[in-house]
Amino acid sequence: MKRQEIIEFIKEIGVLQEGHFKLTSGLHSKQYMQCAKVFEQPKNAEKLVTALKKSLPSNIDTVIAPAIGGICMGYELAHTLGSRFIFAERQNGQMTLRRGFKLSRGERVLIAEDVVTTGGSVKEVLEIAREAGCDLIGVTALVDRSNGSVDFGIPFYPLLKIEVAAYQPKECPLCQQGMAVDKPGSR
Ligand code: ZN
């Protein structure tokens, strides 16, 4: 899928919404992204992850994802790649492997996330895999919203890079047009 096709598709399925939004940061934006909606219809997730697969290295032993955001993404990707899937989660604030999940030395690991903004959770998962002696193949995500500000130190394979412009309410062009503001997180 070409970039424009991906954008049209995620608009169609309600992932990328256009309007006038108040983000959790307090900033206003013309766009709002609800990535969880990709996985509402597994067929949609399959379509996007299949497109992503083409740009990924092969022979991945294990896909590992940070909970919660990365779980559906990592599972769908592991299914597509025919690899194992595990996830890490926070316990007392610390990202950790629970539920009997283990990593082995030399295992070829790909880290999966739905949306990368600051990359904080991904970096913590990366550290877990590094400490286990894994072969760190790369990081992948459906959407990279970092504006190029994140460096994982290993290859990064996002399906889509997107920059969402955000404004201070006082400087928001949509407020100036008198357009009503929507707070998407509250619905
Ligand atoms: Zn506004």
Domains of the chain: 3-176 (3.40.50.2020)
Q: What separation in Å is there between the alpha carbon of 113 and the centre of ligand 1?
A: 29
Cβ atoms 146, 118 nearer than 8 A: yes
- Residue-level pLDDT at 120: 94
Place 184 in a pLDDT band, splitting at 50, 70 and 90.
confident
Q: DSSP letter string over 76-91?
A: HHHHHHT-EEEEEEEE
Q: What separation in Å is there between the alpha carbon of 186 and the centre of ligand 1?
A: 16
pLDDT tens per residue across span 31-78: 999 999 999 999 999 999 999 999 999 999 999 999 999 999 999 999
Q: What separation in Å is there between the alpha carbon of 158 and the centre of ligand 1?
A: 29
pTM here?
A: 0.90
Cβ atoms 163, 31 nearer than 8 A: no
